Amino acid sequence: MQQTFTKESIVGDIVTKFPKASDLFKSYRIDFCCGGNRPLIEAIEERELSPEQVLTDLNTLYSESKALQDAEIDWLNASSQELIDHIITKHHRYLNEELPQLSPYITKVLRVHGTSNPHLSTVHTLFHRLKTELEQHTIKEETHDFPLLLEHEQNPTEETRRNVMKIVQELENEHYTAGNLLKKLREATNDYTPPQGACGTYRLVYQRLEAIETDLHEHIHLENNILFSRV
């Protein structure tokens, strides 16, 4: 089988070329958003995985998907305006709806089960830190940062270039903070595995936390590895 991707392929570039690779990386717990700017072999070794197995799985999945002519939008060649519109309407909207809706369930599970499951206090703290970070982050992007990115792309000047470079650095730092909080949430929840006999609300909280992780990984990837790279 032809090896489209190798040990030296950059993680973020792999997901840019083949978005479905994000599902495989998620199963292996390989960070493709904040940790996307490094060779695949570094991520594999960090997770203590088999390079041969990961590469076989990745290239097999790519070959099968290519054969099926997956109709996903090619964001690499979409305009920045189209990409930003997609980020706002899909990912920002999801966070704007999900974060406040999930918050009372996080608190309820802590109140009911926190005595016998002390890690839920950590989950409660981490989630609300993440909620605050993301709410402020998305507002700033929509009202200030994205418009300046588009302005620089359409009418580049030395002043807009300096402003945009500063913005990108700030946003990438914010993404790193969010990604680190996600990692801590996954650790605190034992990979989002509820204890035996957990009630329905307890299980629902873990499922929805993992869904936020999945969406946010795709969200950050589109910005870090595609939108910002255009600057």
Closest by CA to 221, choosing from 29, 31, 9, is: 31
For 4-27, what is each residue's pLDDT tens digit? 999 999 998 998 888 778 889 989
Q: How many beta carbons lie within 10 A of that of residue 102, not counting itself? A: 18
Which residues of the chain are under the pLDDT cut of 70? 1, 67-72
Distance of CA 99 to the CA centre of its chain: 15
Could you tell me the two tokens for 141?
A: 């992007």
Angle, CA 65 vertex, CA 60 and CA 69 arms, to 5°:
150
- Per the listing, tokens 């009630």 go with 199
- Give the pLDDT confidence score for residue 72 in this predicted structure: 62
Q: What's the token pair of residue 216?
A: 């946010």
Gap between the Cα atoms of 17 and 195, Å rounded = 38
Instruction: Give the pLDDT of residue 68.
Output: 55
What integer pLDDT is reported at residue 1 of this predicted model? 58
Number of residues in the chain: 231
Going from the C-alpha of 43 to that of each of 49, 58, 146, the distances in angstroms are 9, 14, 30
33, two tokens: 């958003």
pLDDT in tens, 161-177: 999 999 999 999 999 99
Collect contacts of 41-44 with beta carbons under 8 A, ≥24 apart: 41/7, 41/8, 43/11, 44/7
DSSP string, 34-92: TT-SSBHHHHHHHTT--HHHHHHHHHHHHHHHHHTT-----TTTS-HHHHHHHIIIIII
Q: What is the distance between the terminal CA atoms of the chain, rounded to a whole angstrom?
A: 36
Which residue, among 96, 137, 123, 98, has the nearest Cα to 195 in the 3D structure?
123
Q: How far apart are CA 165 and CA 163, in angstroms?
A: 6
Rounded to whole angstroms, the Cα distance separating 48 from 91 reads: 31
In this prediction, residue 31 carries a pLDDT of 86
Q: Exposure pattern of 109-139 as b/e (b: 16+ CB <10 Å)?
A: bbeebeeebeebeebbebbeebbeebeebbe
